[in-house]
Amino acid sequence: MTSVPLVERIPVLDDSQLTALAARGVRVPSYDRDRVRVGVVHFGPGAFHRVHQACYFDDALGRDPRWGICEVSLRTSGVRDALQPQDGLYSIAILDTASSYRVIGAIREMLVAAEAPHRVLERLAHQDTQLVTATITEKGYCLRPDGALDLEHADVLHDLQHPAQPVTFVGYVTEALRLRRERRVPPPAIVSCDNLTGNGARLKRAVVELARQRDRSLTGWIENEVAFPSTMIDSITPATDEALRARVAQELGVIDRWPVQREFFTQWVIEDTIRGDAPDWASIGVTVTHDVAHYEQAKLRLLNGAHSTLAYVGSLAGYETVAQAMDASALSDFVTQLMRRDIAPTLARSDNTDYIATVLKRFRNPSIRHLLSQIAWDGSQKLPFRLFGTLADTLAARRPIDRLCVPIAAWFQFVRRKARRGERAYDPLADRLFELGTACTGDAGHDVRLFLSLEQVFPRALASHEGLAGQLAKAYGLLEQVDAPEPLRNALERVSV
């Protein structure tokens, strides 16, 4: 008899499998999914949202059925196509010293905006929708370096010309708020969950600027009536790969087309400005505070800044993962000193010793295979938030910037080397970066000036600061020959301490 391949003998994850999964000790939804109503519309149903906010809302549904999620992908259908046959269910692998698994049931609807803009707008305008959340990455907000909405961006121009068929998140929010005002439906809270400094204020500014181009009375209503709380979110989330799918199939006994994974640590901090209904945040582990800024600043600068440093510097030496890079003593020591001696002094709160120790421990988690290549995506959008603020504050305080220049120079080298191989970086400015990388000659001064001329990335005040170009050129030169661990160790030893 011909044997049936294992994958064909394993059932696919869906509602019918929940009882069997619970019997295996897997945590499954404790509530009646048929009673769940959609109260959250989320843009960007990627891995981070599904290991983070969706987890919190799944906890909330154990107490209150109003917080089901409608997932909206602006353009791609991958998540919808994978999860719809699974009744919206998916699994999370929580990887630490002792790993565990959980099935999330909070997703009740999945829409692809490019296919059905009217359905998305109607869901946003529905009176049951109390929260609109987003994880669309920094590039999704279409902002200029000064934080203003880029009114020359092709997608923003489209939304101005076709407001009832938007293509940007900001366009959808603006049109949905117009519909709710017209229908006399109270506004939802609009909650950015992306790594932008003051993300709530930035999102509000973008929405107001788009509305101002259309209807000044709508602008006033948005400014006075709509809450845009700032947030800080945190949990290390490696991308899904075939190894994870195989592991989930083995551990759970079901096929999950798109499982996700994260570390045990997770944190969500929300500004206390939401006016309408909201989940019982405290009961599900969310911190509500009037001072999100200090949480956000510490996370963006210490964790994300260090992550980007490992990504670009570590990639030059051939390391593949964060844990692997942290096993290299020269790079680990460099990142530790960068956090303690260069980043921490720029933070509003003076004692960050415990937080730094926790971050470094998380980076070393051997159960997490977080690819440096994944962290390196969208460098032109991430670096201004993760490193430039620290750099500007350090320059203003007249402290040394030697170490801070290394990750930025490493990004320059990263872009240049990709261009030399005929590759484009995964970045919204991929074509422009490819042109710059191709134009690099290896002369440090010349190449650094090329990158500093990139106005979409470097604010003019920073790019023109006296002494910055020279320090970047020095770091760029030190990294020129780095292509393996030993040259990297030698280069980092030459950075001023």
Please tell me what DSSP assigns to residue 353.
Answer: H
pLDDT tens-digit readout, 130-160: 999 999 999 999 999 889 999 999 999 999 9
Quick one: average pLDDT of 23-47? 97
CATH topology of domain 294-493: N-(1-d-carboxylethyl)-l-norvaline Dehydrogenase; domain 2 (1.10.1040)
- CATH no. for 6-290: 3.40.50.720
pLDDT tens-digit readout, 442-469: 999 999 999 999 999 999 999 999 999 9
Residue with the bigger pLDDT between 7 and 470: it is 470
In percent, the amount of the chain with pLDDT more than 90 equals 95
Whether 29 shows a pLDDT value over 50: the answer reads yes
- d(C-alpha 224, C-alpha 204), whole Å: 11
The confidence score (pLDDT) of residue 297 equals 94
pLDDT tens-digit readout, 478-494: 999 999 999 999 999 99
DSSP readout, 175-242? HHHHHHHHHTPPPPEEEE-SS-TTHHHHHHHHHHHHHHTT-HHHHHHHHHH-----EEEE---PPP-H
Q: Residue 4: which pLDDT band, with cuts at 50, 70 and 90?
A: very low
Is residue 136 within 8 Å of residue 375, measured between CB atoms? no
Separation in Å, CA 371 to CA 48, 93, 135, 155, 244: 15, 17, 20, 31, 14
Whether 349 shows a pLDDT value over 90: the answer reads no
Task: Tell me the sheet residues that pair with 132.
Answer: 41, 190
The confidence score (pLDDT) of residue 2 equals 39
pLDDT tens-digit readout, 365-413: 999 999 999 999 999 999 999 999 999 999 999 999 999 999 999 999 9
Is residue 73 within 8 Å of residue 66, measured between CB atoms? no
Whether 258 shows a pLDDT value over 50: the answer reads yes
Quick one: average pLDDT of 11-20? 97
pLDDT tens-digit readout, 384-393: 999 999 999 9
- Sheet (strand 231-234) strand order: 231-234, 267-271, 287-289
pLDDT tens-digit readout, 309-328: 999 999 999 999 999 999 99
Structural domain boundaries in the chain? 6-290, 294-493
Whether 97 shows a pLDDT value over 90: the answer reads no
- d(C-alpha 143, C-alpha 138), whole Å: 8
The confidence score (pLDDT) of residue 353 equals 95
Task: Let me know if the fold of 6-290 is the same as that of 294-493.
Answer: no
